Structure 1
């Protein structure tokens, strides 16, 4: 591939929209859930899977169930996405605007789903 074409593809990728919003990881055997938010929904799932696979996830209860039941017992769902403005540019200043929306959006879903105690992997604040 030509160097200029590679450069163009890299630029386009760096300035493209990645899905942002709230997600949940659900244990299909016991219906326990982990809810979180991210400015990169695809990347955060890859990060969780990697940490769980190597046995080093921050959430010890989720880690224990992953080890006991395996990846096939879990599903990853996107609960709600933030729609970027049409002139979206994936730069730090632009992302900070969307990053500020995530805590409120995540709180809404935490309140709605209550993934605590027997229903989830999170500790209630």
Structure 2
């Protein structure tokens, strides 16, 4: 591939929209869930799998089940995506705008799914 074409493809990738929003990792053996949010839904699953594969995930309960059941017992689901505006440009200021929406969306899904205790990998909310 010629250098100019590679440069064009790299530019297009760097300035393209990546799916962003709320996701969950579901253990299909016990139905427990881990809910999170990301500006890069495609990349966050790879990050989790990498950390789990090297036995270094922050969530010890999820880590223990990964070791016990193996990767094939888990699936990744996108719960809700943020739709970018039509003139989306992957700039720091543009991403900051979407980053502010993520905690609210994640909280909505945490309330709806209650992935705590026997239902999930999160610690129960403090009252």
For this structure pair, what is the TM-score category when the shorter chain's length is used for normalisation?
over 0.9
Match of residue 113 from structure 1: 113
Q: 1:36 and 2:30 equivalent?
A: no
Query: Does 1:22 pair with 2:25?
Result: no
Distance in 1 of aligned mates of 2:39 and 2:102: 8
Q: What 5-or-longer segments of structure 2 have no aligned partner?
A: none
* Matching of residue 88 in structure 1 with residue 91 in structure 2: no
**Rounded Cα–Cα distance in structure 1 between residues aligned with 2:75 and 2:6:** 34
Distance across 2 between alignment mates of 1:43 and 1:97: 19
* Alignment: residue pair count: 125
Partners of 1:16 and 1:124 lie apart in 2 by 37
What is the TM-score when the length of structure 2 is the normalising length? 0.97
Could you report, residue by residue, the CA deviation over 1:18-75 in whole angstroms, capped at 9, with x for unpaired residues? 0000000000000000000000001000000000001000000000000000000001
For residue 91 of structure 1, report the CA deviation from its aligned partner.
Answer: 1.0
TM-score, structure 1 as length reference: 0.99
Output the CA distance in 1 between the equivalents of 2:124 and 2:103. 15
Provide the aligned C-alpha RMSD in A.
Answer: 0.5
How far residue 2 of structure 1 moved from its aligned partner, in angstroms, is 1.0
Once residues 123 and 35 of structure 1 are traced to their aligned partners in structure 2, the CA distance between those partners, rounded to angstroms, is 12
- Structure 1: runs of 5 or more not aligned: none
For residues 124 and 118 of structure 1, the distance between their equivalents in structure 2, rounded to whole angstroms, comes to 10
Quick one: distance in 2 between partners of 1:4 and 1:124?
53
